[in-house]
């Protein structure tokens, strides 16, 4: 829960957190080190100097560490966990559903545990999905299309192997699919991280909701194109807000485009914890405003209502989480939220690309 200086309460759902173990004894090979090293680069590059962790803590912060950073210091009411196995690199896996389940067990009312699946695992993978769902009753699964699996270095959502898995999810009542579409990291084949495969599957399964984690970054443009057409595609912001300290100009640019193409109702805040922590991101985000030109381009200012939606209400609606009455929107109709009336910021209507340098 975040309290504004004027006393408004903001319900916070961190829709992208991890509980990983990259300690030396869990690294299967050198990749286990280089993988966490890449994450560490993001942590160092994006986190304010005085808030950086030691590399040792970064490799393993544990349940109590996460609880302090998220719930005690980080304003988080609900944290959504996205497991990834990465057993090719880590002996017991990097951020598996079992590791995540321990956090859920410790904080059952504050943690949303998601499942995972890999359609390359065939019939055995389907059995595993069913067994894990029976055990954990998750509403969503995480897909990591760039993950190595034996000889395979990635797969596409267009692949036929997806069909039995999607049908299984429908049968289980799992209707939220998180797809990792992030920075240009290791898949050899553009297809493994190309965001365009979301288009087809989102059309084929209109009752499912697809959360594209990292908004396809750096190919945010491709993501915007797809999300603009497919109403069941959401933007998982993780990594985008992390720019707010080190590169505020680019953060503003990305937010502006995402709001222009998706509007304020389909964007979900995520800290990508432990790469970056929600405390400082949320503080900076609550203080952040678009310039008049940016607001004009985004078709909305970052009003309190818009921030409330992004920080928690959108995810609460998607996941059907309970929101305290005092945190709900006064007027749930999105029509006038944060809209800037022409002439209010500027008496001259102008071309959206006219932006003062």
The minimum distance between CB 288 and other proteins, in angstroms, equals: 16
**Residues 225, 55: Cα–Cα separation, whole Å:** 38
The minimum distance between CB 106 and other proteins, in angstroms, equals: 28
224 binds other proteins (CB under 8 A): yes
Q: Which stretch binds other proteins (CB under 8 A): 2-10, 25-33, 306-314, 331-339?
A: 25-33
122 binds other proteins (CB under 8 A): no
> Contacts with other proteins in 74-113 (CB under 8 A)?
none
- Choice between 30 and 336, CB closer to other proteins: 30
φ and ψ at residue 267, rounded to 5 degrees = -115, 130
Residue of the chain from 260, 284, 329, 340 that contacts other proteins (CB under 8 A)? 260
Omega before 218 cis (within 30°)?
Answer: yes
Residue of the chain from 187, 235, 312, 338 that contacts other proteins (CB under 8 A)? 187
Which is nearest to 242 in space by CA: 72, 47, 89?
A: 47
Q: Which stretch binds other proteins (CB under 8 A): 114-122, 166-174, 183-191, 318-326?
A: 183-191
Identify whether the C-beta of residue 78 lies closer than 8 Å to the C-beta of residue 112: yes
254 binds other proteins (CB under 8 A): yes
| 13-17: strand order across its sheet | 13-17, 78-81, 111-113
Strand partners, 27: 90
Size of the site for other proteins (CB under 8 A): 54
243 binds other proteins (CB under 8 A): yes
- Choice between 191 and 292, CB closer to other proteins: 191
Which is nearest to 186 in space by CA: 34, 30, 46, 58?
A: 34
> Contacts with other proteins in 30-69 (CB under 8 A)?
30-31, 33-38, 40-46, 55
The minimum distance between CB 83 and other proteins, in angstroms, equals: 20
DSSP per-residue string spanning 207-256 = TSEEEEEGGGTT-HHHHHHHHHH-TTEEEE-TTSTTHHHH-HHHHHHHHH
Identify whether the C-beta of residue 114 lies closer than 8 Å to the C-beta of residue 178: yes
The minimum distance between CB 226 and other proteins, in angstroms, equals: 11
- Choice between 134 and 357, CB closer to other proteins: 357
Residue of the chain from 63, 107, 164, 218 that contacts other proteins (CB under 8 A)? 218
**Residues 347, 249: Cα–Cα separation, whole Å:** 25
**Residues 14, 286: Cα–Cα separation, whole Å:** 15
Query: Which residues of this protein are in contact with other proteins, per CB under 8 A?
Result: 30-31, 33-38, 40-46, 55, 151, 153, 183-191, 193, 217-222, 224-225, 243, 246-247, 250, 253-254, 256-257, 260-261, 297, 351-357
């Amino acid at each position: 829960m975040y309290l504004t200086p004027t006393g408004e309460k903001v319900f916070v759902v961190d829709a992208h957190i991890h509980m990983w173990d990259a300690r030396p004894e869990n690294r299967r090979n050198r990749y286990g080190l280089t993988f966490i090293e890449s994450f560490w680069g993001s942590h160092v590059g994006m986190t304010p100097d005085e808030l950086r962790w030691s590399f040792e803590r970064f490799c393993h912060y544990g349940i109590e560490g996460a609880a302090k950073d998220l719930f005690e210091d980080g304003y988080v009411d609900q944290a959504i966990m996205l497991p990834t196995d990465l057993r090719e690199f880590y002996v017991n896996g990097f951020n598996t559903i079992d590791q995540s389940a321990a956090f859920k067990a410790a904080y059952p009312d504050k943690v949303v545990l998601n499942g995972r699946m890999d359609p390359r695992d065939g019939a055995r993978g389907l059995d595993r999905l069913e067994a894990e769902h029976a055990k954990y009753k998750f509403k969503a699964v995480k897909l990591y299309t760039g993950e190595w699996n034996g000889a395979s270095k990635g797969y596409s959502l267009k692949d036929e192997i997806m069909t039995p898995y999607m049908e299984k999810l429908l049968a289980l009542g799992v209707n939220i699919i998180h797809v990792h579409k992030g920075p240009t990291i290791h898949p050899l084949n553009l297809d493994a991280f190309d965001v365009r495969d979301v288009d087809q599957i989102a059309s084929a399964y209109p009752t499912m909701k697809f959360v594209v984690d990292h908004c396809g970054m750096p190919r945010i443009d491709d993501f915007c194109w797809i999300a603009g057409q497919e109403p069941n595609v959401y933007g998982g912001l993780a990594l985008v807000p992390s720019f707010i300290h080190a590169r505020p100009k680019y953060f503003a640019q990305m937010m502006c485009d995402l709001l222009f193409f998706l509007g304020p109702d389909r964007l979900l805040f995520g800290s990508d914890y432990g790469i970056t922590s929600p405390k400082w991101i949320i503080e900076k985000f609550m203080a952040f405003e678009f310039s008049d030109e940016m607001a004009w381009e985004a078709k909305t200012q970052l009003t309190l209502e818009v921030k409330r939606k992004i920080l928690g209400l959108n995810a609460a609606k998607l996941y059907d989480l309970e929101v305290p009455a005092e945190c709900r929107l006064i007027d749930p109709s999105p029509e006038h939220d944060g809209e800037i009336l022409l002439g209010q910021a500027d008496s001259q209507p102008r071309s959206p690309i006219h932006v003062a340098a």
